Structure 1
């Protein structure tokens, strides 16, 4: 846990927060993140934070992280653009303050399908054949996460209705995807790294497609908080965003540290971690226009019940990134 580097810095932080005690005596910022290749680097963020202590906790999924944020069990959360839109649809108080890592989605086909990579014609033929036989293909994902939405959007763009043409199988914990594929319980899975690479490298399935040909593109992660946290502890939120910008720089410059944290947090071999990072892109920017497109796609897929465009724009706060990078909103995806 880091402490301020001297009494002058402590006094400055005290003045900024208007707290009755020095910064080192303030409660830690409680940070939550999911257990996936592009999320696990958040475990490194406490070591990069300056002027604030960060208590980072890993959760099984982004859904669990979002639940912890809205229930006020944590102060800042690494979730996805999809969780952000879903939260706004439900009227939750969430404010996006930075990006982190994008990518990490892969659709993998079981051997029985005999599909080559990107063979949409072959997949559509298999879908039609299975439907005609009354045994629709079983396609799995962790419902509500980025990979689920990426897959559904890509299917829809190819004329495959994910709600009618295939049988969706919800496997909440991505670490269980491999076993389901090995047991033959599913025909295809859209999984998250490093578990997608684990499935491929175990020979249980092969790459069908990286499902980025849809409104979300490869956008995945956002750092979000609540308005009450910003109001009460703005300097602390700024310190987290500063650390996130530093983290993105670190991941871009040194993949070894990223590989190490995946290995340590999941127990998967470093070879799997290294393969997973071929499908990951560190990026602290937030993409407003694409987020609006994601919200429209999610409404088309009936994942949300209403138009949340106004809330999407209102609740993307670029001021922290502007301060951390000294760049304008336009240069930060705004």
Structure 2
């Protein structure tokens, strides 16, 4: 494939699916499900330490031993799900859309978790206040990420081409963006909270209201959902339900209290960014979302195809992996209310 991060993901999954841990490994010491505990088998759930996934990382499920497994990226979590070493994890819709171009992983989205998540930050003194000001500027992000896609698509929508009218600077990781901005190597970045808040608090970056207001123009607002392995859902429905019920309870609790959300994230990660996280939640830079809006999710691979990030539109395959059954059961809402067919 033309984009190296997608190629690496495909190779990793292809290699690992040859040694898939079977459903019988769930709950057995040394296998994908972990050891049998006093309150039942261990369910291994993955997460990337992102602020938007705080309710997932802090859930407490009755009758289930939950082991939280950290990963560096959604792609890493997705690979672990495909090879059976974890049972559930938040994953970006864009990551699954890319994987589906070449693979048929046995996985299903069982809930939404977040929307939005992209924040544009200009270097202080760069003179960027409008979309037109982006022409001739050096703009950095991580190619293929949701933040890259949102910015590139929005720029097209506003008559500016990220790769022709500006100079795109590709970074290997999001933490590198703030350093580049601080050094003056770039004029702007497309990133996510709390890194965006750190750039502003540090004095090197500023928000640009006009650009932020249009960050999703022509693009998608949906970001990620809770992904689960098919065999886990089929063979251990009670455990899956307990975990998802605990997640939705925690989700509603933290969504109603931005300060508690921020404190919980800081406690999980040691990152003292409570003020900027509260601000990001209130401005909906991070937008909690349990619903899985099928129409919006179908638009993700369409946008990726248009930008030549993936080689074909996998909208039908992605929509086919939206399973509303469990979320409907734990919330008491119908599949239609949760976004099916919308």
TM-score category (smaller protein): 0.7 to 0.9
Q: Distance in 2 between matches of 1:24 and 1:87?
A: 37
Q: Is 1:259 equivalent to 2:262 in the alignment? A: yes
From 285, 288, 292, the equivalent of 1:282 is 288
Q: Please state whether the residue corresponding to 1:97 is helix, strand or coil.
A: strand
Q: Distance in 1 between matches of 2:157 and 2:181?
A: 25
Where structure 1 has 5 or more consecutive residues not aligned to the other structure, the ranges are 1-20, 131-136
Q: Is 1:82 equivalent to 2:91 in the alignment? A: no
Where structure 2 has 5 or more consecutive residues not aligned to the other structure, the ranges are 1-34
Q: Please state whether the residue corresponding to 1:165 is helix, strand or coil.
A: coil
Q: After TM superposition, list the pairs within 5 Å mapping 1:34-53 onto structure 2.
A: 34-45=48-59, 47=60, 49-53=61-65
Deviates more, 1:85-94 or 1:178-187: 85-94
Q: Is 1:196 equivalent to 2:196 in the alignment? A: yes
Q: Distance in 1 between matches of 2:321 and 2:248?
A: 20
From 303, 307, 315, the equivalent of 1:309 is 315
Contact 2:111 2:291 in 1 (8 A): yes
Q: Which residue of 1 aligns with 2:187?
A: 187
Question: What is the count of residue pairs matched by the alignment?
Answer: 299
Q: Is 1:120 equivalent to 2:120 in the alignment? A: no
Q: Which residue of 2 aligns with 1:66?
A: 78
CA RMSD between the two structures: 2.3
Query: Aligned-pair distance for 1:317?
Result: 0.5
Query: Aligned-pair distance for 1:22?
Result: 8.6
Contact 2:262 2:273 in 1 (8 A): no
Q: Which residue of 1 aligns with 2:306?
A: 300
Q: Does the C-alpha gap of structure 1 residues 67 and 172 become closer, same or farther in structure 2, counting only changes over 3 Å?
A: farther
Instruction: Identify the structure with the greater helix proportion.
Output: 1
Q: Please state whether the residue corresponding to 1:150 is helix, strand or coil.
A: helix
Q: Distance in 2 between matches of 1:166 and 1:96?
A: 36
Query: Aligned-pair distance for 1:190?
Result: 0.6
Write the deviation string for residues 18-52 of structure 1: whole angstroms up to 9, x where unpaired: xxx9984643111111222212332211x2x2232
Q: Which residue of 1 aligns with 2:242?
A: 239
Q: Distance in 1 between matches of 2:183 and 2:219?
A: 33
Contact 1:81 1:146 in 2 (8 A): no
Q: Distance in 2 between matches of 1:298 and 1:141?
A: 16
Q: Which residue of 2 aligns with 1:133?
A: none
Q: Distance in 2 between matches of 1:164 and 1:92?
A: 35
From 243, 254, 276, the equivalent of 1:272 is 276
Q: Is 1:31 equivalent to 2:45 in the alignment? A: yes
Query: Aligned-pair distance for 1:314?
Result: 1.2
Q: Does the C-alpha gap of structure 1 residues 152 and 294 become closer, same or farther in structure 2, counting only changes over 3 Å?
A: same
Query: Aligned-pair distance for 1:162?
Result: 3.0
Q: Is 1:141 equivalent to 2:141 in the alignment? A: yes
Q: Distance in 2 between matches of 1:111 and 1:253?
A: 33
